[in-house]
Structure 1
Amino acid sequence: MSAARDYGLGDDFEWPRPPEGGWTADDLDALPNLPPHTELIDGSLVFVSPQTSFHMRTIRLLDSVLLDQVPDEFDVYREFTVTLDRYNRPEPDVAVVRAGADTGPKDTRLLPEDVVLAVEVVSEDSVARDRDTKPRKYAAAGIPHFWRVEQNEGLPVVYVYELDPATHAYGMAGIHHDKLTLTVPFPIDIDLTAINRRR
Structure 2
Amino acid sequence: MDGLPDWMCPPREEGWFAEDLDQLIDAPRHTELIDGALVFRMFPQRLWHNRVRTDLARAVDDQAPDGVDVVQGMTIRLDARNRPEADIIVTSAPFDPDQTWFEPGDVPLVAEVVSRESAFRDRTVKLRKYAAARIQHYWLVDDGAVGPVVHVYELDEPSKAYVATGIFRDSLNVTVPFEIDIDLAELIPRQ
Q: After TM superposition, what 4+ stretches of structure 1 lie above 4 angstroms from structure 2?
A: 11-15
Match of 1:16 in 2: 8
Match of 2:64 in 1: 70
Alignment partner of 2:46 out of 36, 48, 52: 52
Alignment partner of 2:28 out of 2, 11, 35: 35
Matches within 5 A, 1:1-199: 13=5, 16-18=8-10, 19-48=12-41, 49-98=43-92, 101-153=93-145, 155-196=147-188
1:33-60 Cα shifts (integer Å, max 9, x gaps): 1101100000000001211111101111
1:146-185 Cα shifts (integer Å, max 9, x gaps): 0011101251100000000010000000000021011111
d(CA) in 1 for partners of 2:33, 2:97? 22
d(CA) in 2 for partners of 1:30, 1:62? 31
Q: Specify every segment of 5 or more residues in structure 2 that has no aligned partner in the other structure, as ranges.
A: none
Shift in Å, 1:12: 8.7
State the one-letter code of the partner of 2:142: E
Kept in 1, the 8 Å contact 2:128–2:161? The answer is yes
Identity, % of aligned positions: 49
Using the size of structure 2 for normalisation, the TM-score is 0.92
Shift in Å, 1:128: 1.0
State the one-letter code of the partner of 1:74: V
SS of 1:180's partner is strand
Using the size of structure 1 for normalisation, the TM-score is 0.89
RMSD: 1.7
State the one-letter code of the partner of 1:20: E
Q: Specify every segment of 5 or more residues in structure 1 that has no aligned partner in the other structure, as ranges.
A: 1-10
Kept in 2, the 8 Å contact 1:41–1:90? The answer is yes
